[in-house]
Amino acid sequence: MVILVKLLGIIIVVFGVIYLLKPSIMKSYISFWKRGKRLYIGGILSLLIGVILLLAASQCRMSWFVAAFGILGLSKGIVLLVLREEKMRTMINWWAERPIAFLRVHALFALVVGALLIYSA
């Protein structure tokens, strides 16, 4: 399980680097989730990641951080599965319309979170 936490951290760091260097890719990624029922797939993935993080938290160096991130993943998954599609699309459109500087700050946040997950595992 700890290996999955480290792998998730690496994926988040890679995404953070890509988004920091090319924020336009992040806008494309955000738009990807608007089509069809992809948001529900995202909700299921968030639930799965949340459960994995919660199960692995006790074996990690910074268990409180991994557990908190797992709770956030579960919360996000529940919200994505419970909210109506038009409300979710409104939130996605809000993210897609953010300025490049905002997206770069978000990418830096992703880098920090990913690095903490790697360190925690």
**For 3-24, how does the pLDDT look when each residue is reduced to its tens digit (9 = 90+)?**
999 999 999 999 999 999 998 8
Count the domains in the chain. Answer: 1
Do 6 and 94 meet the contact criterion of CB atoms below 8 Å apart?
no
Q: What is the largest CA-CA distance in the chain?
A: 40
Q: Which DSSP state fits 83?
A: S
Taking CA atoms, 62 is separated from 2, 25, 40, in Å, by 12, 31, 30
**For 37-77, how does the pLDDT look when each residue is reduced to its tens digit (9 = 90+)?**
888 899 999 999 999 999 999 999 999 999 999 999 999 99
- Integer Cα distance of 69 and 121 in angstroms: 13
Domain that holds residue 55: 2-120
Q: Chain-centre distance of CA 35, in angstroms?
A: 18
Please tell me the predicted confidence (pLDDT) of residue 103.
87
What does the pLDDT average to over 30-40? Answer: 82
In the chain, alpha helices (H): 2-21, 23-32, 38-56, 63-82, 85-96, 100-120
Please tell me the predicted confidence (pLDDT) of residue 97.
86
User: In this predicted model, which residue has the larger pLDDT, 74 or 121?
Assistant: 74
**For 69-94, how does the pLDDT look when each residue is reduced to its tens digit (9 = 90+)?**
999 999 999 998 998 888 888 888 88
Look up the pTM and report it.
0.86
